Structure 1
Amino acid sequence: MIQRTGWGANDGTWILWFNAPADYNRTKANAYYAMGCNSPTGPCGDGAGAPHGSTHKPGLYICGGNGDFDIVIPAGGPPVVLCTQADQTLSSEQLDLWGTNGVNIGSTHLAGLTNVESPSAYYDTTHATWIMTYSDPNCGYCTGSGTTATNPLGT
């Protein structure tokens, strides 16, 4: 869930993104939806009514697959969706001022990875660097996953 605050329309609307893999399997359209919500706890979607209830199938150019995803919001900038493609590679795509459609700006085959899932990222203010996390190999609950560490201060 993201909130349009400090970027784009800047109207405070909460947007719930979710993955519906059957869409991709059935139509080869991206597997994502974005719902406008009346608060961070809902209600969301068309049935939520005014002021923000809506359901939208995003138009995406780069993140058009059916994999895991996360949305990060750079300080003062538009949100970016990080996505796992159908071929298990990672991509990124900038979202529009509404936070509900892609704008065809981003990258594919991030880090040259070919068998990953569960992307996410955060901004490390101390080092002025974005840190991406993901599961490598594509097995989010396996021992030895690329996202495990013995303590949060480790390498």
Structure 2
Amino acid sequence: MTDEELDKYFHDKYTARGIIHEPPTPLSDKERVRMHEKANLRLAETGLSYLNDPANGDAKYELVNPIAGRFFISCNPRPRGITHSNFEAKLKNDPEAEVQLFFLEIVGKAPGLEKVTCCCSLGRSGSKAAATGLHGCRVCSKINHPKRMRFITH
């Protein structure tokens, strides 16, 4: 058997069993941007669900802008996925409500098993007080974090 015939034999044999998967087609820049927008929207909706849960108070918020999120793996003290995110929201049914910048931290071992460990307002969006910076997070680069808080990454 030639090398080409051997490659074809193994490729056909293992593809049929589902062992070999063809590499995914690379995403275009437009598709990659859209994928990130969808992920940021999902994170913001998770934060809103947490904020609007009656167990977390009576205030009800509506989404203004999903800003950004950062997913990473932490192995301290055990492996798990962590996401830090910012989004803008304001109080529902209040035309005078100021838009607030929120920080969200989600921890989970698998999709659907995530837990919100922090969701809090950083202040009025666009204000100097809301632009808080990293505050000790060693992973994020553009996500504003609350002051005086210990993050899972520590």
TM-score normalised to structure 2 length: 0.34
Greater Cα radius of gyration, structure 1 or 2: 2
Give the number of the structure whose residues are more often helix, by fraction.
Answer: 2
Give the number of the structure whose residues are more often strand, by fraction.
Answer: 1
